[in-house]
Amino acid sequence: MKKRVAVLISGRGSNMRVLVEAAKAADYPAEIVLVVSNRLDAAGLAWAREGGIPTAAIDHKAFASREAFDTAIDAALRAARVDLVALAGFMRLQSAGFVEAWAGRQINIHPSLLPLFKGLHPARQALQAGVRISGCTVHFVSRDMDAGPIIAQAAVPVLPSDTEDTLAARILIAEHRLYPLALQLVATGRARLDGHLVRIEAPVNQAQLVCSPDTAGAC
Ligand code: GAR
């Protein structure tokens, strides 16, 4: 049985799109049954609608509190009989109750090697810190923003010529590789929560997760 996945977005939705594309494979262990956006004008929402994927546009500004908004999201997820939630550029902090309700069943992607560079502008933070390697992380969602047990990471070089935009673009390509792989690990139960760590039960092809300076252009 494929896991029923909802993807929550706030904008462009490129990570949502790669999950949708990956889930088209007959042997992929998850199906995308719902795309939810808190922004009615999100480009990703229009793309999902055009593709015939069930969508829910739930405007956070229409709710008096974070809890009320999260209750509406939760209702949409339950109505769609969702097993797993994948945050993909969903730029809303969640209430403690919601995080607890979906603990171990909700994952997020962030464009840095966590625990470094949480929050906004991680590529800018990486450049300012002078690191030579950055990347992206998929993790289970916990109470703290861009934290929680790490499922998978991909490394990307920071090049001397990089601007915030070129680095973010290189990391985004790595995100698009990593997220389908990480969702697959979770959906098959091969990535399991064990306290504050994630245990991976089968070997992961590390070569897929590293992009060397030599291949930076292509990665
Ligand atoms: C992605 O880079 C994602 O990692 C990031 O927002 C972007 C969304 O792009 N998420 C965060 O920063 C979460 N803290 P997308 O809409 O094209 O997937």
Nearest of 176, 187, 208 to residue 88 by alpha carbon = 176
Tokens describing residue 6: 């909802």
Q: Is 121 a known active-site residue?
A: no
Q: How many domains does the chain have?
A: 2
Q: Which atom of ligand 1 is nearest to the CA of 111?
A: 4
Ligand 1 site, residue 175, Cβ cutoff 6 A: yes
CATH number of residue 52's parent domain: 3.40.50.170
* pLDDT in 10s for each residue of the chain, 219 residues: 999 999 999 999 999 999 999 999 999 999 999 999 999 999 999 999 999 999 999 999 999 999 999 999 999 999 999 999 999 999 999 999 999 999 999 999 999 999 999 999 999 999 999 999 999 999 999 999 999 999 999 999 999 999 999 999 999 999 999 999 999 999 999 998 998 999 998 777 777 677 666 655 555
Ligand 1 site, residue 11, Cβ cutoff 6 A: yes
Pair (81, 115) in one structural domain: no
Pair (53, 130) in one structural domain: no
Residue 97's CB: how many other CB atoms inside 10 A?
A: 13
What domain range is 177 assigned to? Answer: 109-219
Q: Whose CA is nearest to atom 16 of ligand 1?
A: 13
pLDDT score recorded for residue 203 = 75
Ligand 1 site, residue 36, Cβ cutoff 6 A: no
Provide φ and ψ at 216, rounded to 5°: -55, -40
Q: How far does residue 98's CA lie from ligand 1's centre (Å)?
A: 20
Q: Which atom of ligand 1 is nearest to the CA of 108?
A: 13
Pair (55, 143) in one structural domain: no
Pair (60, 40) in one structural domain: yes
Pair (121, 82) in one structural domain: no
Q: Do residues 136 and 151 make contact, with C-beta atoms less than 8 angstroms apart?
A: no
Q: How far does residue 12's CA lie from ligand 1's centre (Å)?
A: 9
Tokens describing residue 115: 């625990």
pLDDT score recorded for residue 180 = 96
Pair (113, 219) in one structural domain: yes
Given 61, 76, 102, the domain boundary residue is 102
Pair (53, 131) in one structural domain: no
| Whole-number Å distance between alpha carbons of 52 and 104 | 28
Ligand 1 site, residue 172, Cβ cutoff 6 A: yes
Q: Which atom of ligand 1 is nearest to the CA of 10?
A: 16
Pair (13, 53) in one structural domain: yes
- Give the predicted TM-score (pTM) of the model: 0.95
Pair (84, 186) in one structural domain: no
Q: Do residues 170 and 219 make contact, with C-beta atoms less than 8 angstroms apart?
A: yes
Given 33, 67, 102, the domain boundary residue is 102
Pair (113, 217) in one structural domain: yes
157 three-state secondary structure:
strand
Given 102, 134, 155, the domain boundary residue is 102
Pair (80, 164) in one structural domain: no
Pair (168, 206) in one structural domain: yes
Ligand 1 site, residue 14, Cβ cutoff 6 A: yes
